[in-house]
A and B are shown apart, each in its own frame.
Chain A
Amino acid sequence: MLLSIVSYGLALGAVYALIGITYNVMFAASRVFSFTAGTVGMLGGVFGALCIDRMGMPVALGFLLTLAAGAVLGVITEVLTVRPVLKSLDQHLYVLSTLAFALMLQQLTAIEWSTEPQPFPRLLPFGPGFFDQQFWLPISACVLTIIGLEWLYRRTLVGRAFLAISEDNYAARALGLPEQRLRVASYALAGAIGTLAGFTGGEMMLAYFGNGPLLNFYGFVPVALGGMGSNRGAVAGGLALGLFQQTANFLVGGIFASVAIFVVFILVLLVRPEGFAGAAPARRV
């Protein structure tokens, strides 16, 4: 039982954490919570199965094309659903625009792909068991992503420019940073991370259009738990969520497991509304 909790819990948690990072990368560049994050994650599984299983591409090529498709979707999200509403962020129109786009993508997937879950190919020729690739692939992807983002944000000029626009985009523009291009690049990066989540978790979650809403919600929980904008918080929150979900599955089971997650989520937000890694907003006096 413990092995099952740890293996499935960490793997699911890693997928949630990657979706949480997708939310964060989009949020950092635009102050917008784009509800396409889970849908892009779902499409990672669908594109992977399409390229490798249906079109017979090599795994590496299918993987790269999936990430590229995610990046393109990220750019489309920025152009179609975020840019037009940036001027009126206080009206929260982005909730409608990104949610509508996510629903369109989901329905399109249902029509063109399938309404039934489809198999996702085994990517590497390793056997089943605790060290099954369906468990360690998403965990590895999550670790590599957080290391890569830390390196990008702290060691590269482009990364520092990303941080600059997330801190204060007016000041960044005043310094001559190409804010719009950086935002588009952030969305492309977020799209690629989202599809990475769906691709590496594909064998566990299958290539299924119905995974979109699930990832949208369970990917948002780590962001809320870990603190908005904090990637490390999202990883910690995601892994904790996965482990808690699996433990609840074993201990209470059925729909009660979902109820247990909601209860803990609400309790945490009541006690610490800014999340574990987030800073409490400063009060202007």
Chain B
Amino acid sequence: MAISRRQALIGSAASTATLASGVFRPAIAASEPIRIGYLPALTGPSSSTGIGINRGTELAVKEINDAGGINGRQIELVVRDTQSDPTKAVNAATELTRRHKVHVIWGPLNSGEALAATPLIARDGVPQLHPCWVDQLTDVKKYPLAFRNAPTNQQIGGAANHYVVNIVKAKKVAVISDTTGYGTASLNAYVPMLKTLGAEVVYEGSVESNNPDLKPELLRMQAAGAQAIMPWSVNAGFLSRIINTRAELNWDIPIVGQTTLGSGQTKALLKKPEYWEKVYPNNFRNCSYNAAGALPPRTVEFVERIRKANIEMGDTLLWWIALGYDGPRLMAEAIKAAGSGPEEIAGYWNKIKAWPGVYGSISWTPELHDGFQNEEIVMCQANSLRDGAFTLAPGYTG
């Protein structure tokens, strides 16, 4: 059949109109990739955490894509290295939400950057998942689409206080911090919590982090009869001086506190390796060895997958990798079950209960976007690091 020029013109106009009206749009949308905006600090001073988390994130995305993606749609990780700089994190977040129109954002991965970027991500109406500990980073009124799959600082302090009072059974506690914002805020928050638990805080003080001699402070703690020291600082120099001074005073009370107590930087500054005995930093139950030296079954299976994927674990921490692995999986599950729109993702997350992550179980409600469970935050033995994981501190069961 011959087609006249007029018929051809009418036909092509009709096709153009059909395309413009969006009849074929669902088909295109159904096959387009799910874009996850990802804001790790892969360089700069906070990069050790970012590099560890990145290994888990890349593994999760690869596994999901290899298994066919989310309802047939591949995940496209749109990565922007924040270089540990809040300004760069803000710029990158804006680029991801406005230019790349990502469906969801994973990160930033440290609190300084998240404090700067979260309000902008919330303003652009993009769902956000982050693992940062600063309490103010979730607020269902200000940031209704922001969720946290890690503990808050309150939970971290609460777990340390619980260990000191209820497991070590220390009645008299010394709490010391450096003079940074983190240090003094932690001291002010955790001391009343300790008192509520029934402990007597016999020493409470903030000291400059580069004060080379902490002996006067520890002598004061000793004179006050302290049975445990709780230092709140992320400065390895400050923490190592407390540990060294305790040993030089031939004092063997436990030191219980923040994760930096168990870091390689702290270890490097100890005068003798044995000074690290009875030092208990925060850790997470799923990523800790029990007294028999075994990881929980869920984590054992995860470690096997890490090994098969030839991912290095010796130079990082298992909980960083596990945390990175859980992020994209939480997103994939929400998009698969509810859809890729902002309200659909947030709506699904708002109803999640005891989601079995490798790092920890997550439960969110419309009123509370802090999903990590208190009982999964534990203390561990600082000198027990093996393949990226620590052994539980004495007194825990399981």
The proximity string for A residues 40-75 relative to B, scoring 1 for CB distances below 8 Å and 0 otherwise, is: 000000000000000000000000000000000000
Minimum CB distance partner of A8 in chain B? B213
Query: Is A80 an interface residue, CB under 8 A from the partner?
Result: no
Interface residues of A in 71-130 (CB under 8 A from B): 110-111, 115-119, 128
Give the docked Cα–Cα distance between A253 and B207 (Å): 8
Query: Is B269 an interface residue, CB under 8 A from the partner?
Result: yes
Give the docked Cα–Cα distance between A246 and B179 (Å): 18
Contact (Cβ within 8 A) B216 A115: no
Contact (Cβ within 8 A) B210 A208: yes
Contact (Cβ within 8 A) A253 B235: no
Query: Is B356 an interface residue, CB under 8 A from the partner?
Result: no
Instruction: Chain A residues near B45: list those with CB within 8 A.
Output: 110-111, 115
Once A253-B220, A254-B217, A255-B179 are accepted as A-B contacts, the answer to whether A116 and B212 lie under 8 Å apart by CB is no
Q: Which of A8, A115, A254 contacts B205 (CB 8 A)?
A: A254
Q: Which of A4, A111, A204, A210 contacts B209 (CB 8 A)?
A: A210
Query: Is B108 an interface residue, CB under 8 A from the partner?
Result: no
Query: Is B332 an interface residue, CB under 8 A from the partner?
Result: no
Minimum CB distance partner of B207 in chain A? A254
Contact (Cβ within 8 A) A8 B219: no
Query: Is A206 an interface residue, CB under 8 A from the partner?
Result: yes
Contact (Cβ within 8 A) B210 A205: yes
Query: Is A249 an interface residue, CB under 8 A from the partner?
Result: yes
Query: Is B265 an interface residue, CB under 8 A from the partner?
Result: yes
Give the docked Cα–Cα distance between A246 and B213 (Å): 8
Instruction: Chain B residues near A249: list those with CB within 8 A.
Output: 211, 213, 216-217
Give the docked Cα–Cα distance between A211 and B208 (Å): 11
Query: Is A156 an interface residue, CB under 8 A from the partner?
Result: no
By size class, the interface of chain A is 20 to 34
Query: Is A258 an interface residue, CB under 8 A from the partner?
Result: yes
Contact (Cβ within 8 A) B268 A4: no
Contact (Cβ within 8 A) A119 B268: yes
Contact (Cβ within 8 A) B237 A206: yes
Query: Is A250 an interface residue, CB under 8 A from the partner?
Result: yes
Instruction: Chain B residues near A128: list those with CB within 8 A.
Output: 248, 271
Instruction: Chain A residues near B268: list those with CB within 8 A.
Output: 118-119
Query: Is B206 an interface residue, CB under 8 A from the partner?
Result: yes
The proximity string for A residues 179-214 relative to B, scoring 1 for CB distances below 8 Å and 0 otherwise, is: 000000000000000000000000011101011001
Q: Which of A4, A208, A250, A254 has the most CB of B within 10 A?
A: A254
Minimum CB distance partner of B213 in chain A? A8
Query: Is A2 an interface residue, CB under 8 A from the partner?
Result: no
Instruction: Chain A residues near B209: list those with CB within 8 A.
Output: 210
Query: Is A12 an interface residue, CB under 8 A from the partner?
Result: yes
Query: Is B393 an interface residue, CB under 8 A from the partner?
Result: no
Once A116-B236, A253-B216 are accepted as A-B contacts, the answer to whether A210 and B210 lie under 8 Å apart by CB is yes
Query: Is B88 an interface residue, CB under 8 A from the partner?
Result: no
Query: Is B215 an interface residue, CB under 8 A from the partner?
Result: yes
Contact (Cβ within 8 A) B235 A1: no
Give the docked Cα–Cα distance between A205 and B241 (Å): 10
Contact (Cβ within 8 A) A204 B237: no
Minimum CB distance partner of A246 in chain B? B213
Q: Which of B213, B235, B240 contacts A4 (CB 8 A)?
A: B213
Give the docked Cα–Cα distance between A117 and B44 (Å): 16
Once A116-B265, A117-B269, A206-B269 are accepted as A-B contacts, the answer to whether A211 and B211 lie under 8 Å apart by CB is no
Contact (Cβ within 8 A) B269 A119: yes
Minimum CB distance partner of B84 in chain A? A115
Contact (Cβ within 8 A) A208 B217: no
Minimum CB distance partner of A5 in chain B? B216
Instruction: Chain B residues near A8: list those with CB within 8 A.
Output: 212-213, 215
Contact (Cβ within 8 A) A258 B208: yes
Chain A nearest CB: distance from B208 CB in Å?
Answer: 7
Q: Which of A4, A117, A204, A255 has the most CB of B within 10 A?
A: A117
Interface residues of B in 256-279 (CB under 8 A from A): 265, 268-269, 271
Interface residues of A in 202-253 (CB under 8 A from B): 204-206, 208, 210-211, 214, 246, 249-250, 253
Minimum CB distance partner of A254 in chain B? B205
Chain B nearest CB: distance from A41 CB in Å?
Answer: 13
Give the docked Cα–Cα distance between A208 and B213 (Å): 15
Chain A nearest CB: distance from B175 CB in Å?
Answer: 12
Interface residues of B in 212-238 (CB under 8 A from A): 212-213, 215-217, 219-220, 235-237
Chain B nearest CB: distance from A75 CB in Å?
Answer: 28
Minimum CB distance partner of B270 in chain A? A119
Give the docked Cα–Cα distance between A254 and B208 (Å): 7
The proximity string for B residues 166-198 relative to A, scoring 1 for CB distances below 8 Å and 0 otherwise, is: 000000000000010000000000000000000
Minimum CB distance partner of A215 in chain B? B210
Contact (Cβ within 8 A) A211 B207: no
Minimum CB distance partner of A256 in chain B? B205
Contact (Cβ within 8 A) B179 A204: no
Contact (Cβ within 8 A) A255 B237: no
Give the docked Cα–Cα distance between A258 and B207 (Å): 9
Give the docked Cα–Cα distance between A254 and B219 (Å): 13
Contact (Cβ within 8 A) A254 B269: no
Contact (Cβ within 8 A) B237 A254: no
Interface residues of A in 252-280 (CB under 8 A from B): 253-255, 258
- Some 19 contacts from A to B, beta carbons below 8 A apart, are A12-B213, A111-B44, A117-B210, A117-B237, A117-B240, A118-B269, A119-B268, A205-B212, A206-B210, A210-B209, A246-B216, A249-B213, A249-B217, A250-B216, A250-B219, A253-B216, A254-B205, A255-B179, A255-B208
Q: Which residues of B contact A (CB under 8 A)?
A: 44-45, 179, 205-213, 215-217, 219-220, 235-237, 240, 248, 265, 268-269, 271
Q: Which residues of A contact B (CB under 8 A)?
A: 1, 4, 8, 12, 110-111, 115-119, 128, 204-206, 208, 210-211, 214, 246, 249-250, 253-255, 258
Q: Assuming A119-B268, A214-B208, A249-B213, what are 18 further A-B pairs, CB within 8 angstroms?
A: A8-B213, A8-B215, A116-B236, A117-B235, A117-B236, A117-B237, A117-B265, A118-B269, A128-B248, A128-B271, A205-B212, A206-B210, A214-B210, A246-B216, A249-B216, A253-B216, A254-B206, A258-B208
For the complex of A and B, list the 4 residue pairs with the smallest distance between their C-beta atoms, beginning with the closest: A117-B237, A254-B205, A115-B45, A249-B216
